[in-house]
């Protein structure tokens, strides 16, 4: 950023009165309309001068905090060879998300979605002793993901700028310290950016590793759901773990009874029917819903599993995705049911190694997994694995057992926090940062070892820390706007001050020139609307759209040496003498 006054008559920008057709969210709409970005392809954008200035300011804040946290900047190419990603399995694991290509000699390359492998190999190349550690290195770099549905402008693009940092330690305690240093730096970054955040436990997912936290910006339009308790627990729903109740004794419980239940293929119809034909009052919570999922494993094999959850909950797509990762999960298809006639759709019950309970005996190889709430001694109304028949009084641990438990069911307001800190409530947020302990997965796969204090080779333990620069820019825009346009926080505004000269005579323009010269001398970045034949209305409209928070209008009062200070956020306007304006803006 050089400190030369930018004249709007020269600035490469064109503001649009109309919303772009493809824009779904305010940030996208306004960043395009105000001339910050332009679409090049789905999820791929060019940056105009205004956008580049905001991006540079965000990057500068991140760089300062990284330096303060002892991290050093490096830079990797976007185009990376296949081999390191092959060694860690991610060449395949990434699936369609990865842009792959070949060079003229047929060598396989990718556009890196993240650089764990490259950083690991670089450290292996340079360092060999525990004395070289701890080390945290980072880059601010353009990354690529071939999203199936790029959308919401910069919020989910296929090219995006990230700060990704990686820490290297030879002990677990060292990793904890490096992790904490990045976590603290992230807090300072978001505070300086004026971005509210919640730090929530996250599942490490396909990246492997142990401790993992996300920084979420709480907003009702966020894509991520998280839960928090008043006692301080916070976690992504994917990371929420169900607290299993104590098992109850089942001695003396009556035997299960199969009953006819024609057409009751939904929980709703089943409950209604149960209340008709069985004694007692029944709700969905008394039923056990069995859902068939199809897993596609990394080696391409397809496996069906039956998952049993309380009937008052649903399968949570994100939670099963994490639970079964790296396999891909989808509902069983018609073809799956046709190929497995023992799966009687609508009437599926518990399952075992010898086939469906109560149904025909047959070793199908289909695993049966249960929600952790289905503890021994609980009694259920559930499918009898026969068409138009259910069973009631089926007791877990006596009449059926599972091959394992799985976190597959939805989380609800009021569910207990796993740390005992009380009931949780659900909220939505947007991910703005992610810190996590990779542990030794990458170092092991790529052979990164150092000599420790005793001259023994030990595998290095790593952390990975990401902030989406372009995503943060979009979120700030999303948060800071009104119906007229953008309203940037001062810390990231493209300019410190926007000076608007209006009126027909030369007086206002002459005074405005003096003002911008004074502001420039005070090392402020100034946008000066010097356009001679543009109406005040158009100039004000552009100023409101562009969103520099501090405005000065030099117009009618210029003859008397007066200018108008205008606060874009509050809308407050105040006429003050020229010298006061300079003093207040440069204070």
User: Which residues of this protein are in contact with a copy of itself, per CB under 8 A?
Assistant: 2, 4, 10-14, 35, 38, 40-41, 44-49, 52, 63-64, 67-68, 70, 72-81, 96, 99-101, 103-104, 107, 109, 111, 118, 122, 125-127, 135, 137, 142, 144, 146, 148, 158-159
For a copy of itself, give the closer residue by CB, 2 or 570: 2
For a copy of itself, give the closer residue by CB, 70 or 536: 70
Q: How far is the CB of 70 from a copy of itself (least distance, A)?
A: 7
Cis peptide, bond prior to residue 512, ω within 30 of zero: no
For a copy of itself, give the closer residue by CB, 107 or 262: 107
Q: How far is the CB of 101 from a copy of itself (least distance, A)?
A: 4
Q: For helices 49-68 and 469-479, give the axis angle rounded to 10 degrees.
A: 110
The per-residue b/e assignment along 81-97, b for 16 or more CB within 10 angstroms, e otherwise, is eeebbebbebbeebeee
Q: How far is the CB of 421 from a copy of itself (least distance, A)?
A: 39
535: number of Cβ within 10 Å: 10
For a copy of itself, give the closer residue by CB, 4 or 587: 4
Q: How far is the CB of 534 from a copy of itself (least distance, A)?
A: 11
Q: Contact 448/442 with Cβ under 8 angstroms? A: yes
Secondary structure of residue 400 in the 3-state scheme = strand
Among 400, 386, 395, which residue's Cα sits nearest to residue 258? 386
For a copy of itself, give the closer residue by CB, 42 or 277: 42
Cα(153)–Cα(33) distance, integer angstroms: 12
For a copy of itself, give the closer residue by CB, 75 or 504: 75
For a copy of itself, give the closer residue by CB, 7 or 428: 7
Query: Nearest 5°: phi and psi at 412?
Result: -130, 155
Q: How far is the CB of 153 from a copy of itself (least distance, A)?
A: 14
For a copy of itself, give the closer residue by CB, 11 or 458: 11
Classify burial at 374, counting beta carbons within 10 Å of its beta carbon; exposed 0-12, middle 13-18, buried 19 or more: buried
Q: Contact 428/416 with Cβ under 8 angstroms? A: no
Secondary structure of residue 122 in the 3-state scheme = helix
DSSP conformation class of 285: G
Cα(204)–Cα(430) distance, integer angstroms: 17
Q: How far is the CB of 464 from a copy of itself (least distance, A)?
A: 17
Q: How far is the CB of 303 from a copy of itself (least distance, A)?
A: 24
Where does 244-370 show beta strands of DSSP type E? 257-260, 287-296, 302-310, 328-331, 351-352, 355-356, 367-370
For a copy of itself, give the closer residue by CB, 25 or 74: 74
Q: What's the token pair of residue 447?
A: 């052979």
Q: How far is the CB of 139 from a copy of itself (least distance, A)?
A: 8
For a copy of itself, give the closer residue by CB, 118 or 292: 118
The per-residue b/e assignment along 266-295, b for 16 or more CB within 10 angstroms, e otherwise, is ebeebbebbeeebeeebeeebbbbbbbbbb
Q: How far is the CB of 5 from a copy of itself (least distance, A)?
A: 11
Conformational region of residue 315, where left means phi above 0, alpha means psi within -120 to 50, and beta covers everything else: beta
Q: How far is the CB of 106 from a copy of itself (least distance, A)?
A: 11
């Amino acid at each position: 950023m050089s400190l030369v006054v930018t004249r709007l008559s020269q600035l490469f920008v064109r503001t649009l009165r109309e919303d772009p057709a493809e824009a779904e969210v305010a940030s996208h709409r306004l960043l395009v309309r105000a001339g910050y970005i332009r679409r090049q392809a789905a999820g791929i954008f060019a940056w105009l001068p205004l956008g580049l200035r905001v991006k540079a300011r965000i990057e500068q804040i991140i760089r300062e905090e990284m330096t303060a946290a002892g991290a050093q900047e490096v830079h990797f190419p976007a185009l990376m060879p296949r081999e390191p990603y092959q060694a860690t399995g991610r060449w395949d694991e990434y699936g369609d998300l990865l842009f792959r290509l070949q060079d003229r000699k047929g060598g396989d390359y990718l556009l890196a979605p993240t650089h764990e492998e490259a950083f690991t190999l670089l450290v292996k190349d340079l360092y060999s002793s525990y004395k070289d550690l701890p080390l945290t290195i980072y880059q601010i770099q353009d990354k690529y993901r071939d999203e199936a549905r790029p959308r919401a402008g910069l919020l989910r693009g296929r090219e995006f700028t990230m700060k990704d940092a990686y820490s290297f330690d030879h002990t677990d305690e060292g990793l904890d310290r490096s992790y904490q240093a990045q976590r603290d730096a992230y807090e300072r970054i978001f505070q300086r950016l004026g971005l509210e955040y919640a730090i929530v436990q996250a599942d490490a997912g396909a990246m492997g590793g142990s401790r993992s936290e996300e920084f979420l910006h709480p907003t009702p339009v966020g894509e991520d759901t998280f839960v928090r308790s008043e006692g301080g627990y916070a976690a992504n729903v994917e990371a929420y773990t169900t607290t299993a109740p104590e098992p109850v004794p089942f001695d003396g419980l009556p035997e299960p009874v199969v009953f006819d239940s024609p057409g009751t293929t939904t929980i709703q119809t089943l409950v209604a029917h149960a209340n008709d034909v069985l004694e007692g009052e029944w709700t969905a919570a008394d039923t056990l819903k069995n859902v068939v999922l199809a897993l596609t494993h990394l080696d391409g094999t397809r496996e069906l599993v039956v998952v049993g959850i309380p009937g008052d909950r649903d399968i949570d797509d994100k939670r099963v995705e994490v639970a079964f990762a790296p396999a891909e999960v989808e509902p069983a298809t018609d073809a799956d049911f046709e190929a497995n006639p023992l799966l009687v759709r609508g009437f599926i019950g518990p399952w075992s190694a010898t086939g469906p309970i109560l149904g025909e005996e047959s070793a199908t190889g289909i695993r049966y997994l249960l929600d952790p709430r289905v503890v021994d001694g609980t009694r259920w109304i559930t499918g009898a694995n026969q068409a138009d028949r259910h069973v009631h009084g089926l007791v877990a641990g006596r009449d059926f057992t599972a091959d394992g438990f799985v976190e597959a069911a939805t989380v609800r307001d009021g569910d207990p926090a796993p740390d005992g800190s009380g009931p949780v409530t659900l909220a939505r947020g947007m991910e703005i940062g992610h810190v996590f302990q990779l542990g030794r997965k990458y170092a092991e796969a790529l052979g990164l070892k150092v000599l420790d204090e005793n001259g023994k080779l030990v595998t290095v333990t790593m952390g990975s820390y990401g902030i989406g620069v372009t995503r943060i820019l979009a979120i700030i825009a999303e948060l800071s706007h009104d119906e007229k346009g953008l309203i940037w926080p001062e810390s990231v505004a493209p300019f410190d001050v926007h000076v608007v000269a209006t009126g027909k005579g030369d007086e206002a323009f002459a005074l405005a020139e003096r003002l911008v010269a004074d502001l420039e001398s005070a090392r402020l970045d100034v946008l000066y609307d010097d356009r001679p034949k543009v109406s005040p209305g158009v100039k004000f409209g552009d100023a409101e759209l562009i969103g520099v928070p501090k405005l000065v209008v030099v117009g009618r009062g210029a003859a008397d040496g007066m200018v108008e200070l205008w606060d874009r956020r509050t809308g407050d306007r105040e006429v003050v003498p020229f010298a006061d304006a300079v003093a207040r803006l440069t204070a």
